[in-house]
Chain A
């Protein structure tokens, strides 16, 4: 058969099924080995799971756009439940302008100023964990730490911050289908959306926080008030859950690999590279989508205009074509090029503050705890997009 295009093999894999969510790695392998592009018949979408193709799609934002949403639904055709994100669900030139505003607010210079505050809080959290000995680490560390330091930095009111976790849950479960997980995340939606909308308003934000600085861009005439509120909303939706799962995954991986915990204890310079390996090995953000803006081609496979393409960054981060022993957690490996934060123009805008949060917390814990171990059976969070723990009983020993 002489055709110019090959076809994507069909797969019955369902990335939103419980079995997949609990242990995605065998399914990742099946998708990767199926071909450079596979067709997921259950949801009528293409999927790319190999590192090379994931990078290709991320880099080519003109062809594989974000304006159609980064979830399963096409926002341009009635799939939107909120005003599209000013960052995640927007293409250039609007995206560039909005991203520049948030880039400036989250710049390395700003983060240098935040470091000492984060370090002090991290010490407090670590001391409490050590004093208690055994804790439920998802609620007491993984959620509580970003809810304190990140929300303080943005300048969000102190009461009701649990809505931030709920909102992140809605946003990221909302990138999947309207399944049971979606419905559960949305149980209290009205109240949460209302709280978040109020918390994004200028008058609700602390005067010296990062949120207020976004509004300064509105004062300078760079954006209007409505867009400023939308950019602040991006902080609130994307800043807590993702970091929460990253911290939980970090604690779990170190509990499972005590020799690597000993290594970062003896050399704190390893905390930074360890976090990159954690992002590769247990990527908190597992999947997101792009939409073909025109008829396109990936590795010779024809992708018709308006097709949705699922990018499995979790699978790309364990592609043996790219990584040696990909299923081994090794904090000393070269992790350059991992796509745990995405890549390209939509690469996670909060990645540097996320690094700062996890780095300060892990350092404070490593300074104090000779051993960290599981103190009971962890419970995985069933989630359409993120990978992490609902409950993580942990023991910390000095």
Chain B
């Protein structure tokens, strides 16, 4: 099963086993990760599952669509080129080893 590492703002690290087909937001919520809120349940409406993708990995992920792009402009912490909404990242085997950094706050 693909393993995704979430790095909290304070440096804590959580490794999640994420079944393929599951979004990283859902996996994080299920694991009780406090740095991901996901208020809208994965409809790309609340921008509270914001993550920063580790350097050099953006190209390996599915592209940002127009809806996610609109919502990324509303994140509580600064939008960067490596910003994604984790609800839009549905895990495949290729995600194994991905490292994501959590912003200081989501709301």
A122 within 8 A of B: no
CB A315 to nearest CB in B, in angstroms, measures 18
Question: Once the chains are docked, how many angstroms separate the CA of A104 from the CA of B47?
Answer: 11
CB B45 to nearest CB in A, in angstroms, measures 5
What chain B residues lie within 8 Å of A100 (beta carbons)? 65-67, 69-70
The contact of A342 among B43, B46, B47, B71, by CB within 8 Å, is B43
**Per-position 1/0 for A22-45, Cβ under 8 A of B:** 000000000000000000000000
Question: Once the chains are docked, how many angstroms separate the CA of A106 from the CA of B48?
Answer: 14
Inter-subunit contact A107/B40 (CB<8 Å): no
Inter-subunit contact B73/A104 (CB<8 Å): yes
Given A96-B66, A103-B67, A347-B73 contact (CB < 8 Å): no
B103 within 8 A of A: no
CB B37 to nearest CB in A, in angstroms, measures 10
What chain B residues lie within 8 Å of A103 (beta carbons)? 44-45, 67, 70-71
Question: Once the chains are docked, how many angstroms separate the CA of A338 from the CA of B40?
Answer: 10
Question: Once the chains are docked, how many angstroms separate the CA of A109 from the CA of B66?
Answer: 17
What chain B residues lie within 8 Å of A336 (beta carbons)? 29, 38, 41
The contact of B40 among A96, A341, A345, by CB within 8 Å, is A341
A332 within 8 A of B: no
Question: Once the chains are docked, how many angstroms separate the CA of A336 from the CA of B48?
Answer: 14
CB A277 to nearest CB in B, in angstroms, measures 14
Question: Once the chains are docked, how many angstroms separate the CA of A106 from the CA of B46?
Answer: 9
Please give me the residue from chain A that is nearest to B38 by CB atom: A336
The contact of B46 among A108, A110, A338, A343, by CB within 8 Å, is A108
CB A323 to nearest CB in B, in angstroms, measures 15
Inter-subunit contact B45/A351 (CB<8 Å): yes
**Per-position 1/0 for B65-85, Cβ under 8 A of A:** 111011101101000000000
Inter-subunit contact B66/A106 (CB<8 Å): no
Inter-subunit contact B66/A107 (CB<8 Å): no
B42 within 8 A of A: yes
The contact of A107 among B41, B48, B65, B74, by CB within 8 Å, is B74
Q: How large is the interface on B (under 10, 10 to 19, 20 to 34, 35 or more residues)?
A: 20 to 34
A348 within 8 A of B: yes
Inter-subunit contact B66/A351 (CB<8 Å): no
Inter-subunit contact B41/A96 (CB<8 Å): no
What chain A residues lie within 8 Å of B42 (beta carbons)? 343-344, 347
Please give me the residue from chain A that is nearest to B42 by CB atom: A343
Inter-subunit contact A337/B41 (CB<8 Å): yes
CB B1 to nearest CB in A, in angstroms, measures 19
Q: What's the tally of chain A residues with a CB closer than 8 Å to chain B?
A: 27
Please give me the residue from chain B that is nearest to A111 by CB atom: B74
Question: Once the chains are docked, how many angstroms separate the CA of A351 from the CA of B29?
Answer: 19
Question: In A104-159, which residues have CB < 8 Å from any B CB?
Answer: 104, 106-110
Given A100-B67, A103-B67, A343-B43 contact (CB < 8 Å): yes
CB B68 to nearest CB in A, in angstroms, measures 9
A99 within 8 A of B: yes
Inter-subunit contact A108/B47 (CB<8 Å): yes
Question: Once the chains are docked, how many angstroms separate the CA of A261 from the CA of B44?
Answer: 31
Give the residue among A106, A110, A338 with the most B Cβ atoms within 10 A: A106
Question: Once the chains are docked, how many angstroms separate the CA of A100 from the CA of B64?
Answer: 12
Inter-subunit contact B71/A347 (CB<8 Å): no
A97 within 8 A of B: yes
Question: Once the chains are docked, how many angstroms separate the CA of A337 from the CA of B27?
Answer: 11
Question: Once the chains are docked, how many angstroms separate the CA of A336 from the CA of B66?
Answer: 26
What chain A residues lie within 8 Å of B71 (beta carbons)? 103, 107-108
Inter-subunit contact B43/A341 (CB<8 Å): yes
**Per-position 1/0 for A342-356, Cβ under 8 A of B:** 111101110110010
Inter-subunit contact A106/B73 (CB<8 Å): no
Question: Once the chains are docked, how many angstroms separate the CA of A338 from the CA of B67?
Answer: 22
CB A74 to nearest CB in B, in angstroms, measures 25
The contact of B66 among A97, A108, A342, A348, by CB within 8 Å, is A97
Please give me the residue from chain A that is nearest to B44 by CB atom: A103
CB B44 to nearest CB in A, in angstroms, measures 7
Please give me the residue from chain A that is nearest to B107 by CB atom: A108
Inter-subunit contact A338/B41 (CB<8 Å): yes
Give the residue among B40, B69, B76 with the most A Cβ atoms within 10 A: B40
Q: List 21 A-B contacts (CB under 8 A).
A: A96-B65, A96-B67, A100-B65, A101-B70, A103-B45, A103-B67, A104-B70, A106-B45, A109-B73, A336-B38, A336-B41, A337-B26, A341-B40, A342-B43, A343-B42, A343-B43, A347-B42, A347-B45, A349-B45, A351-B43, A352-B46
A341-B40, A351-B43 are known contacts; what are 11 more A-B pairs with Cβ within 8 Å? Answer: A101-B70, A103-B67, A104-B70, A109-B74, A337-B29, A342-B43, A345-B67, A348-B43, A349-B45, A352-B39, A352-B46
